[in-house]
Structure 1
Amino acid sequence: MRFRYLRADHSLLGGLWDIDAGSVETAESIYSTFILQELVRLADSTSHEASGYKSALIIGLGAGLSARALHQHQVEVTIVEIDPVVYDFARRYFAVPKPTGGAFLEDARAFLRRETERRYDYIVHDVFTGGSVPASLFTIECFQDISRALTPTGIVAINFAGNTSSVASQLVFSTILSSFHHCRAFEDGAHTTDYRNLVFFCSPSSPVVFRQPLPSDYLPFPSPLMREKVFNEFESAEMDLSGVKLGSVVHDGSERELEEAQRAGVKEHWELMNGVLPLETWAMY
């Protein structure tokens, strides 16, 4: 089968099954993680029709599959992406529409500090790449900026991948749970190692509850069958956060602790990626 990936270093930022030989707009997503992030729309904070939600901030575009879906739901999408090439390729090769809320090719911290008047109903925070996360976007202060950027009933989805028992993961979990009053986390699909892809859904103000999906939530394309499956089965993959012990957290100025702790995870991630695609795919790395 034909497929298309967007790669940065040894990370896959997204991919599509190019079944119809070029119909990128309707191609199926290879990964369900990005569909899991769309659950921000199902947060039951206002109404069962989710009509109160109209704006979204995407921090870290990747291949833009979450941005595409939110755009189809007529959400005003604002994109912040530090790498202009990622933005260009997502638009050119993955059919990401021009964001109605604007595209800002800069560091997300600079954007959040400058755009203090903007408020979003949901924020998708997905900056994982190369087996690690930029520590400056996982500090208490960064999550405080994100909380301020949310509407009173807003929800943030935070993507993270790593070995859940590692020091790095415990630092990230403790920082997220110390930053928001209410969080739930869900694993993306089956796993054969201790390496997990998780999406945290957090609110600074109210418990995170999801409404039942409607037929319109599945969208006609891309990936309606995968979207229906994810939306109806995600709660069975919920991670029990009650066992997470709150310990050290990451602050501005102490990012090096997380950076150092992630080194082992980078190697583990690289080994996993070597098993996903043949080595020829990584020849330019």
Structure 2
Amino acid sequence: MSLEEYIRRVDFYRLGSGATLLVLLAFYSPVMLLVLSPTYGALPAHIFHVYGLGIFAAAGWFLKDQVQLRLGRLAAYMLPVLAFWTPTLQYFVMQQSSMLGNPLGPVITELFGYYPLALLTVAIAGKQIQYSLHLEDMGDVAAEHVPLVGSYLVYSLGEHFAKALLSRFIGFTVVFSRAGLQFVIAILYAAVVPSKMLLLAIPSVLFSITADVHFGGIGGVNSAIQSEGYSILARQESYTGYISVLENHNDGFRVMRCDHSLLGGQWTKMAPGYHPQVQDPVYAVFTMLEAVRLVENSHGSHRVDAGSKALVIGLGVGTTPAALMKHGIDTTVVELDPVVVKFAKQYFNFPSNHATTVDDATKFVKRALKTPSAHQYDYIVHDVFTGGAEPAELFTIDFLHDLSSLLKDDGVIAINYAGDLALYPTGLVVRTILATFPTCRIFRENAPPADNENQDFTNMVIFCTKNIGAPLKFRSPEQADFLGSDSRKNYLLPTHEIDPAVFDPIPKGGSRLLVDKEVKRLYKYQDRGALEHWEIMRKVIPAAVWENW
């Protein structure tokens, strides 16, 4: 048979239909992770996602003949119905997240809709592709494996395209929200496989429109969480996660949330007549970061704020850079996420006239080093999100060495890191910092727990200088350092010091330092820290708030 004759035999309509179904399933994979992240966290959502998807997709491929035999066209007609019901089923399952736990919760959530959808999609698409190619004359091996390899390539390309598209456009419109994308995918399934069975999806569609708080405005969310004493002031999808601003009305504080974590917060309930120049942060660690100003210079003298320059990597709610600016320090802030900048200015009193640089910190630092007139900074504050989901590339010895080049010879750097002191990633990061800067001291936010046999998860700040031989000392704070704040009176001067020797042990197969080319190897060690962080966050904010976003 000639190639021309073979091409005439190919059923391109069926081939296109099968390929389209695989692309839709591929698009749903990263969307499903986005849906799980606000309730379970980004890393825990990933732990078993690929394995579960692989198992159900493989089952769909090898059972495609049985699915065709037993269900016939009904199997295809069920696809859009199941796609429409998946958000509704998962809504009710995620309301039980505390009972299900983590990482079991994400797996069970995906069992309600997504994994069955994957099985049916692969079974139907695989059979359509196999039928359309007409490879029977070439033998059983070709008839089975060519469609299999082709299907895998179509899925892989679709997933890569989906990830690139989502990273660029997530949050751009309601359609490109995680809840909206589930609805869009269901509509596209219905367009590929139209049938009268879509009438069965009407109850789910009505529920999504009228009762699913993930689809509606913030009014629905506030109705669901008001009994917990919380309300949501603003929310927006972004490529770093689901960002929202939460107000606690009982205890009087406001926080900025990213997925299943907090970027920071400030107290809003204050005594009459109490007006600090910069709002008190809810976490003492953000006050501790301001202690970079208290580190004595190499001559043992006080540092002078006037004329000093600071670089802050990671904005959060902006408490630390706002305090540095209030002291008269020329402060440059680099933040990856524009939504974080917007919310910090609108809801956390970060100076609205400050020109924050929205950029990847690694790119900013590289450009700064190549600029002939590059500034060197008296202070650098490294304060990016950690707690099991840290951007590891910002803790490599390569990046820290570049930061060191931007720090004046007598400058000070403060690095905030949250993690379990006993876990490998924490030790790896601390050892890398200590190897970069010759003189460092490590302080934790609170005193160590009485029983820390199983875990010791804490916020800590590593203060370092480039001075060799000169000890790192803090001067006693003065009244002006407190900016009229009781929190700064209590927490500005670090007190709970950690012995660096705690981080000396290296587990078998581990590395002493974190380098750029080995960043990906760290990811597999971050899961346990992320799960510990999830448990801590459930104690800080009620489950209902996390579940309803």
Residue 278 of structure 2 contacts residue 322 of structure 2 at CA under 8 Å; is this kept in 1?
no
Question: TM-score, with normalisation over the residues of structure 2?
Answer: 0.48
Superposed, 1:1-285 pairs within 5 Å as: 1-19=251-269, 27-45=279-297, 47-48=301-302, 50-51=304-305, 54-98=308-352, 102-116=355-369, 117-129=374-386, 131-192=388-449, 194-206=456-468, 207-220=471-484, 224-232=485-493, 234-235=494-495, 237-245=496-504, 248-285=512-549
Per-residue deviation, residues 196-253 of structure 1 (Å, max 9, x unmatched): 1110001122432211111110112xxx111111235x23x01111443275211111
Residue 44 of structure 1 contacts residue 50 of structure 1 at CA under 8 Å; is this kept in 2?
no
Equivalent AA in structure 1 for residue 366 of structure 2: R
Could you say what the CA RMSD is over the residues aligned between the two structures, in angstroms? 2.2
Give the percent of matched residue pairs that are identical in Structure 1 and Structure 2.
39
Quick one: higher RCO (CA 8 Å, sep 6+), 1 or 2? 1
Comparing 242-251 and 30-39, the one that deviates more: 242-251
Show structure 1 runs of 5+ residues with no match. Answer: none
Q: 1:140 to 1:124 in 2, by over 3 A?
A: same
3-state SS in 2 of match to 1:212: coil
Equivalent AA in structure 1 for residue 473 of structure 2: V
Equivalent AA in structure 2 for residue 39 of structure 1: A
Which has a greater percent of helix? 2
- Which structure has the bigger radius of gyration? 2
Residue 122 of structure 1 contacts residue 155 of structure 1 at CA under 8 Å; is this kept in 2?
yes
Comparing 46-55 and 175-184, the one that deviates more: 46-55
Equivalent AA in structure 2 for residue 201 of structure 1: F
Equivalent AA in structure 1 for residue 437 of structure 2: F
The whole-number CA distance in structure 1 between the counterparts of 2:433 and 2:306 is: 26
Per-residue deviation, residues 245-270 of structure 1 (Å, max 9, x unmatched): 27521111110122221111001100
Residue 171 of structure 1 contacts residue 258 of structure 1 at CA under 8 Å; is this kept in 2?
no
The whole-number CA distance in structure 2 between the counterparts of 1:16 and 1:53 is: 28
The whole-number CA distance in structure 2 between the counterparts of 1:17 and 1:199 is: 21
- How far 1:29 moved relative to its partner? 2.0
Across the two proteins, how many residue pairs are aligned to each other?
278
Residue 255 of structure 2 contacts residue 263 of structure 2 at CA under 8 Å; is this kept in 1?
yes
Q: 1:284 to 1:76 in 2, by over 3 A?
A: farther
Question: TM-score, with normalisation over the residues of structure 1?
Answer: 0.90
Equivalent AA in structure 2 for residue 67 of structure 1: P
- How far 1:97 moved relative to its partner? 1.0
Equivalent AA in structure 2 for residue 6 of structure 1: M
The whole-number CA distance in structure 1 between the counterparts of 2:262 and 2:536 is: 11
- How far 1:280 moved relative to its partner? 2.0
Q: 1:16 to 1:152 in 2, by over 3 A?
A: same
